[in-house]
Structure 1
Amino acid sequence: AWWHAYYRKSFLSLPDARMQRFYWIQLYKTAAAARRDAPVMATCGPWLEPTPWPNTWWNLNVQLEYWLIHGSNHIELDAVTRALSEFRSNLTKEMAAPYRADSLGIPRTTDPSLVNGASVTDGGYGVGIPGQDPPTPEVGNLTWALHNVWLTYRHTMDESILRDVLFPLLRKAVTYYLHFLEPGPDGKLHLPATYSPEYGGNSRDCNYDLMLLTWGCRTLIEAAEILGTDDDLAPRWRDVLGRLTAYPTDANGYMIGADIPFAKSHRHYSHLLAVYPLYEVTGRTADERALIERSLAHWVGFEGALQGYTFTGAASMSALLGKGEDALKYLGQLMSRFIQPNTMYKESGPVIETPLSAAQSLHDMVCQSWGDVIRVFPALPPAWSDLTVHNFRTQGAFLLSAVREGGATRWVRLVSEAGAPCIVRHGIAGAIEVRDGRGRPLSYEDAGGGAVRIALGRGGTALITAEGDRPDLRIAPVEPNEEAPRWGLPGTS
Structure 2
Amino acid sequence: MIKKFAFYLLITSAPFVSKSQEKDLKLWYQQPATTWVEALPVGNGRMGAMVFGNVQYERIQLNEESIWAGKKISIDNPGSASHLKEIQQLLLNGENAKAHELSTKFMLAIPNRFRSHQTLGDIFIDFGLQGSPKEYERNLDLSTGVATTTYVIDGIKFKREVFASGPHDCIVVRITSDKPNSINCKINLSRERDATVNSYGQNSLLMNGQIVDVDDSNGEGGLNMKFGAILKASSADGTIQSANNSILVKSASNLTILLTSASDYSLPKLDFDRSIDVKAACDKIIANASAKQYEEIKKSSVDKHRELFDRVTLDLGGNDLSRIPTDKRLNAVKNGSADPQLIQLYFQYGRYLLIASSTSPGVLPANLQGVWNDHYDAPWDSDYHTNINLQMNYWPSEVTNLSETNESLFNFIDAYRLPGRETAKGMYNAKGWTMHHATDIFGKTGINAAIQYGVSPLAAAWLTLHLWEHYQFTGDKKFLKERAYPIMKEAAEFVQTFLIEDKHGRLVTAPSMSPENAFKLANGEKHQITYAPTIDIEIIMALYNACIESAEILKSDQHFAAGLKKTLTRLPAIKVSPKTGGIQEWIEDYDEAEPGHRHISHLLALYPADLITPDQPELFAAAAKTLERRLANGGGHTGWSRAWIINFYARLLDGEKAYENVVALLQKSTLSNLFDNHPPFQIDGNFGGTAGIAEMMIQSHQDYIKLLPAMPQVWANGSVKGLCARGGFEVNMKWQNGKVSECSVTSKQGNRLKINVNGKAIDLRTKAGQTYKLL
TM-score, normalisation: structure 1:
0.82
CA gap of 1:372–1:113, structure 2 versus 1, over 3 A, is farther
Query: Is the CA contact (8 Å cut-off) linking 2:390 and 2:684 kept in structure 1?
Result: yes
2:415 & 2:497 partners in 1: Cα distance? Answer: 26
* Aligned equivalent of 2:475: 157
1:18 & 1:279 partners in 2: Cα distance? Answer: 30
Query: What letter corresponds to residue 458 of structure 1 in structure 2?
Result: A
* Aligned equivalent of 2:534: 207
* Aligned equivalent of 1:110: 439
Does residue 372 of the first structure (1) align with residue 695 of the second (2)?
A: no
CA deviation after TM superposition for structure 1 residue 115, in Å: 3.4
Deviations 1:147-194 (A, max 9, x none): 112111111111122212221222222222222434445443333341
1:225 & 1:179 partners in 2: Cα distance? Answer: 23
1:46 & 1:269 partners in 2: Cα distance? Answer: 26
Does residue 256 of the first structure (1) align with residue 585 of the second (2)?
A: yes
* Aligned equivalent of 1:47: 372
Deviations 1:287-334 (A, max 9, x none): 232212112212222227831222222211111121111100011111
Query: Is the CA contact (8 Å cut-off) linking 1:374 and 1:424 kept in structure 2?
Result: yes
* Aligned equivalent of 2:25: none
Query: Is the CA contact (8 Å cut-off) linking 2:515 and 2:599 kept in structure 1?
Result: yes
Query: Is the CA contact (8 Å cut-off) linking 2:705 and 2:754 kept in structure 1?
Result: yes
Query: Is the CA contact (8 Å cut-off) linking 1:248 and 1:257 kept in structure 2?
Result: no
Deviations 1:41-63 (A, max 9, x none): 11111111332222222111111
Query: What letter corresponds to residue 108 of structure 1 in structure 2?
Result: H
CA deviation after TM superposition for structure 1 residue 361, in Å: 0.4
CA gap of 1:41–1:355, structure 2 versus 1, over 3 A, is same
Secondary structure, in 3 states, of the residue corresponding to 1:249? coil
* Aligned equivalent of 1:24: 348
Query: Is the CA contact (8 Å cut-off) linking 1:155 and 1:394 kept in structure 2?
Result: yes
1:257 & 1:380 partners in 2: Cα distance? Answer: 33
Moved more, 180-189 or 271-280: 180-189
Alignment map for 1:59-458 (pairs within 5 Å): 59-78=387-406, 79-97=408-426, 102-112=431-441, 114-116=443-445, 122-123=449-450, 137-184=455-502, 186-200=504-518, 201-251=528-578, 252=580, 253-259=582-588, 260-264=590-594, 265-303=596-634, 306-427=637-758, 450-458=760-768
Q: Which of the numbers 304, 319, 323 marks the counterpart of 1:2?
A: 304
Query: What letter corresponds to residue 479 of structure 2 in structure 1?
Result: I
Query: Is the CA contact (8 Å cut-off) linking 2:437 and 2:455 kept in structure 1?
Result: no
* Aligned equivalent of 1:460: 770
1:283 & 1:189 partners in 2: Cα distance? Answer: 27
Deviations 1:248-283 (A, max 9, x none): 431321232124444512101212111111011113
1:304 & 1:10 partners in 2: Cα distance? Answer: 32
CA deviation after TM superposition for structure 1 residue 7, in Å: 2.3
CA gap of 1:325–1:309, structure 2 versus 1, over 3 A, is same
Q: Which has the larger radius of gyration?
A: 2
CA deviation after TM superposition for structure 1 residue 134, in Å: 8.6
Query: What letter corresponds to residue 341 of structure 2 in structure 1?
Result: A
1:12 & 1:233 partners in 2: Cα distance? Answer: 44
Deviations 1:447-470 (A, max 9, x none): xxx3221111222322112xxxxx
CA deviation after TM superposition for structure 1 residue 348, in Å: 4.8
Query: Is the CA contact (8 Å cut-off) linking 2:447 and 2:454 kept in structure 1?
Result: no
CA gap of 1:378–1:57, structure 2 versus 1, over 3 A, is same
Deviations 1:189-209 (A, max 9, x none): 333341111114122221111
Deviations 1:7-41 (A, max 9, x none): 22221221211111111222221121111552011
2:427 & 2:530 partners in 1: Cα distance? Answer: 23
Query: What letter corresponds to residue 59 of structure 1 in structure 2?
Result: N
Moved more, 376-385 or 340-349: 340-349
Query: What letter corresponds to residue 364 of structure 2 in structure 1?
Result: P
* Aligned equivalent of 1:490: none
1:342 & 1:267 partners in 2: Cα distance? Answer: 24
1:230 & 1:211 partners in 2: Cα distance? Answer: 23
Secondary structure, in 3 states, of the residue corresponding to 2:709? coil
Unaligned runs of 5+ in 1: 124-132, 429-449, 466-493
Secondary structure, in 3 states, of the residue corresponding to 2:744? strand
Secondary structure, in 3 states, of the residue corresponding to 1:309? helix
CA gap of 1:304–1:25, structure 2 versus 1, over 3 A, is closer
CA gap of 1:233–1:117, structure 2 versus 1, over 3 A, is closer
CA deviation after TM superposition for structure 1 residue 336, in Å: 0.8
Secondary structure, in 3 states, of the residue corresponding to 2:641? helix
1:105 & 1:455 partners in 2: Cα distance? Answer: 41
Query: Is the CA contact (8 Å cut-off) linking 1:283 and 1:292 kept in structure 2?
Result: no
Does residue 35 of the first structure (1) align with residue 359 of the second (2)?
A: yes
Moved more, 389-398 or 80-89: 80-89
1:203 & 1:56 partners in 2: Cα distance? Answer: 24
Query: What letter corresponds to residue 30 of structure 1 in structure 2?
Result: L
CA gap of 1:30–1:134, structure 2 versus 1, over 3 A, is closer
Query: Is the CA contact (8 Å cut-off) linking 2:436 and 2:445 kept in structure 1?
Result: yes
Query: Is the CA contact (8 Å cut-off) linking 1:162 and 1:223 kept in structure 2?
Result: yes
1:100 & 1:458 partners in 2: Cα distance? Answer: 47
CA gap of 1:203–1:87, structure 2 versus 1, over 3 A, is closer
Secondary structure, in 3 states, of the residue corresponding to 2:774? strand
CA deviation after TM superposition for structure 1 residue 87, in Å: 4.2
CA gap of 1:331–1:27, structure 2 versus 1, over 3 A, is same
CA gap of 1:45–1:80, structure 2 versus 1, over 3 A, is same
2:452 & 2:316 partners in 1: Cα distance? Answer: 49
2:704 & 2:679 partners in 1: Cα distance? Answer: 40
1:419 & 1:404 partners in 2: Cα distance? Answer: 26
Query: What letter corresponds to residue 387 of structure 1 in structure 2?
Result: G
Query: What letter corresponds to residue 583 of structure 2 in structure 1?
Result: Y
* Aligned equivalent of 2:61: none
2:345 & 2:773 partners in 1: Cα distance? Answer: 29
1:97 & 1:424 partners in 2: Cα distance? Answer: 48
How many residues are aligned here? 433
Unaligned runs of 5+ in 2: 1-302, 318-339, 519-527
CA gap of 1:226–1:220, structure 2 versus 1, over 3 A, is same
Identity of aligned residues (%): 21
1:401 & 1:82 partners in 2: Cα distance? Answer: 31
CA deviation after TM superposition for structure 1 residue 100, in Å: 7.0
1:149 & 1:407 partners in 2: Cα distance? Answer: 34
